[in-house]
Amino acid sequence: ASTFCHPGFGPVLMLGSGGQLVELMSDVRFVALPASRDHLERVLAGTLIGRALKSGFRGASGFESAVAFVHRLSLLALHARDRIAQIEVNPFTVGQHGAVAVDVSVVLS
């Protein structure tokens, strides 16, 4: 997940599957912020990783944790948009442990 300010659209959240094949799979969605938790849930459910998490594919779990994580990330991006130009969380993991950011990059304005 990544947030940034687009010159024409304003604050934006990029959401989708990560990893080396992300460009090949085209499994990324862009959401103008602010966005409701329900909207983010629908967007995530439309991605390959979201469908896998929601359906429990091969024991996957953590869909609700992922939704809560991206919702909180979007709120942070909006709250701090005067001070933070971009936040990139890649990857974050979800499961029985909840949602955990593994690697985070923050670019200040």
Q: Over 80: is that where the pLDDT of 43 sits?
A: yes
Amino acid (1-letter code) at residue 7: P
Q: What is the DSSP letter of 90?
A: -
Q: What is the share, in percent, of the chain residues with pLDDT greater than 70?
A: 95
Count CB neighbours of 10 within 10 A.
12
Average pLDDT over residues 22-31: 84
Say how far apart CA 69 and CA 15 lie, in whole Å. 11
Over residues 47-92, the pLDDT tens digits come to 999 999 999 999 999 999 999 999 999 999 999 999 999 999 988 9
* Residue 102 Rama label (left phi>0; alpha psi -120 to 50; beta): alpha
